[in-house]
Structure 1
Amino acid sequence: MVGMRFDITKCHGSGNDFALIDARDIVLADGEWAQVARALSYRAGPVGGDGILLLTGGDDRAAFGMRIFNADGSEPETCLNGLRCVARAGLEATGQRSAVARLKTSHAEVARDDDLAPGVYTVRETAGPASFDVRDWPLTGEGIRIVDAVIARLSPDLRFTAIAMPNPHLIAFVDAVDEAELVRIGEICEGAPAWLPNRANVSFIEVREGGELYVRTFERGVGLTNACGSAMGASTFVAGLTGRLPFDRTVTVRNRGGLVRASASEAGMVTLSGNATVEWTGQVSVDLSQARADDLVVTSRHEDEIAAWAGI
C-alpha cells in the first residue's frame, strides 16, 4: 500500500494543532501511521501541524481510544491538548457527555465542560497519577526521584523536577522564560543521550500575578511548541508539590497558544479544562512511501469556532 486518501479534521487544543483521523476502521502498521504523521504535519505542506491524532476503538473500560503520532513520526504516551480534541470526536461519535478514554499506556476521564468563553467548545480531562520514578523513562545517573534539583549536565543553575504524566517531563520554575536556554536544553534531551535514551519534554514555568502559570515547552518529537497539555498539567502538579501554589485549587495556565483551567491533587491527579476547537474538515491524499501529502479539499470551515477562540 503506497497511497491513501483520508478524511481529516483540523483541530487544536490551546494552539497545539493536529489533523485528526477517525481510525476505528482503518488498519495501518505503526510505521505507516508514522509516515502519515510526517506528511500531514509538514508545515510547508497542505495541512501542517504538531502531529496527528487517531480516534480508535475502546476496551473493557473505555468507550474509545486515542493514539498520537508526533511530527517526527514518534508515538508518545499521551498529549492532553490532543486528548481533548479526540474526546470531542469520541463523545460526539458515541453520543455520550462523559467517558473513559484509552491512551497508549493508561486511561483518562473526559467530559464536555462549561465553555471557557462563548462558542469555545470545552472538554474536561483528568489524568494521572504522576510518577516520580525516573528509572521508568529511563533517566540514569541522577537517582530515582528528582524534585527541585540541579541536573548538572543540563544546567548548573536551574532546578528541575522530573515526573511522568505518563510521558516524561522535566519542569523548571524560572523568573522569566529564556527561550534560547530552553531550546539549548531541549535539544540536548532531543538528542537521546545514553542517560536519556527515550528523550523528554522540557518546560520553563513562570508564576505570574494572581497565581497564574505561564508554561513554555520544548516538546519531545516536536520542538519548541505553542502548547503542551501534559506539560501544563505537570507544571500545575509541580507547583503544588514545591509549595508555589496550593493543591486542589483551579488555576489559569497560559502558554503561547492560549490557556486552560487546571488543578492538581497531592496524589498526582491532574484535571485540565480547555478548548477542543475544530477549524475545518476535508480530505487529503498521502503518499506513504514518500511521506508526502497533496490534493487537499476542504469541505467545511468552522469560522465561528475560530473567531470564538481568537476572542479568548
Structure 2
Amino acid sequence: MDIRNLKIKSIMPIHFTKMHGAGNDFIVIDNRTYQLNDAAAAQCAKQVCHRRFGIGADGILLLDSGRHADFQMRYYNSDGSRSFCANGARCLARFAYHRGIVGKAMIFEADDGRHEAVIVGRAVRLHMTDPAMVDLNRTITAYPRAETVHSINTGTQHAVLHSDDVMQEDVVHHGRVLRHHSLFQPLGTNVNFVQTMDTSRIAVRTYEKGVEAETLSCGTGAVAAVAVMTLLDEIEPPVMVHTRSGETFSVNFTRNGSVIRGVTLEGSAHIVYDGEFLEENLD
C-alpha cells in the first residue's frame, strides 16, 4: 500500500525506532510496510527530524526490500537530501537483526553500492566501499589564512584538515565556509577536523552537509580521516577514532601504496526507543 494515496491521512500512524551510532541519531522506518517514495521520504525527513517541531534526529533511515540483497537502505539528511551514511548503515543493520529480518551476517544495498555487515554484540562491523576521488594537499584561502585541505569520497564526499587541538576548532563556522567553498561545488562537502594523538589513535570532529551543523560523530568522516592520515604516513591501521560524543570507532583496511582496500568501520549501534508519528507529517 502507498500511504500517500489514503484519503484519511491524519490518523495513519507510522511506526519508527529511534537509534544512534556514537551520538549520530536517526529515525528508522521499516518501509516495507509504508512504501514511502523518494519525495515522501524527503518531506518526512524535513518534518520529523526537526528538534523543535518533530521527533529530532540527524536523518531518517528507510529499510526497503532488497532486489539482490537482504534489504535496501535509503538515508535522508534532516534537510531532505539523500546520501550514504555509515553510522546509519550500522544502525539499520542492527535494526534488521533486532527485528529478525536477517541473521548476524547480512548484505544490503545502499546508494554507494553493496555492503556487508556483521553484528558484534551491540556493535556492528560494516564493510565499506573503497575510497575514491582522493585529492591530497590542496591549498585554499577560505579562512583568514591559507589552509591545506585533503578531499576523499568514502561513500560521500569529505574534506579533511589537520588540527593541533581539535577541541578548540570552531567547527560550525569554519566547517560551513569549507562546505560551500567553490572547490567542492556544486554538491558541497562534509568537513572533518583531525588531531593525530599517536600512530593508532586520532580525534575527529565533523561538520555534516545536509544536517548543516556539527554532528556528534560521522562514520564516513571517521573513515575519510583515517584514510587521509594513513596516506600522509601519520598513522597506521587499525586506528581508534575518538568522536565528539565520547564514543570510539575502530577503522581498519589494507594499504598498497596509494590504494586502500577492504575498509571496515566498527562501533556501537544503540536502540533508544520505539514510537509512532502521524502521516500528516508528510504534508
Does TM-score exceed 0.5, indicating one fold? Answer: yes
Instruction: Give distance in 2, aligned partners of 1:195 and 1:163.
Output: 11
Aligned to 2:214: 224
User: Match of 1:184, as an amino acid?
Assistant: H
Instruction: Give distance in 1, aligned partners of 2:161 and 2:183.
Output: 22
User: Match of 1:274, as an amino acid?
Assistant: G
**1:127 equivalenced with 2:161 (yes/no):** no
Check conservation: 2:65, 2:71, Cα contact below 8 A. yes
Aligned to 1:50: 58
Aligned to 1:256: 244
Instruction: Give distance in 2, aligned partners of 1:272 and 1:204.
Output: 19
Instruction: Give distance in 1, aligned partners of 2:278 and 2:252.
Output: 40
User: Match of 1:255, as an amino acid?
Assistant: T
Aligned-pair identity (%): 29
**1:100 equivalenced with 2:126 (yes/no):** no
Instruction: Give distance in 1, aligned partners of 2:215 and 2:131.
Output: 22
Aligned to 1:82: 88
How far has the Cα of 1:268 moved from its partner?
2.5
Aligned to 2:140: 151
Name the one with the larger strand percent: 2
Q: Which runs of 5+ in 2 are unaligned?
A: none
User: Match of 2:151, as an amino acid?
Assistant: A
Instruction: Give distance in 1, aligned partners of 2:118 and 2:144.
Output: 40
Judged with a 3 Å threshold, the aligned counterparts in structure 2 of structure 1 residues 274 and 263 are, in CA distance, closer, same or farther, namely same
Aligned pair partner of 1:244 in 234, 247, 254? 234
Check conservation: 1:39, 1:286, Cα contact below 8 A. no
Aligned residues: 267
Check conservation: 1:192, 1:198, Cα contact below 8 A. no
Check conservation: 2:48, 2:281, Cα contact below 8 A. no
Task: State the TM-score, normalized to the length of structure 1.
Answer: 0.79
Check conservation: 2:137, 2:150, Cα contact below 8 A. yes
1:87-111 deviation line (CA, Å, top 9, x unaligned): 1122343341111111113111100
Aligned to 1:23: 31
Task: State the TM-score, normalized to the length of structure 2.
Answer: 0.87
Instruction: Give distance in 1, aligned partners of 2:159 and 2:238.
Output: 22
Instruction: Give distance in 1, aligned partners of 2:96 and 2:219.
Output: 18
Instruction: Give distance in 1, aligned partners of 2:64 and 2:282.
Output: 24
Aligned counterparts, 1:67-216, within 5 A: 67-76=74-83, 78-92=84-98, 93-113=100-120, 115=121, 121-132=122-133, 146-153=135-142, 156-177=145-166, 178-180=168-170, 182-191=171-180, 193=182, 196-209=185-198, 211-216=200-205
Aligned to 1:271: 264
Instruction: Give distance in 2, aligned partners of 1:95 and 1:183.
Output: 38
Check conservation: 1:151, 1:159, Cα contact below 8 A. yes
How far has the Cα of 1:263 moved from its partner?
1.2
- CA root-mean-square deviation: 2.1
Check conservation: 1:148, 1:242, Cα contact below 8 A. no
Aligned counterparts, 1:279-294, within 5 A: 279-288=272-281, 290=283
How far has the Cα of 1:156 moved from its partner?
4.1
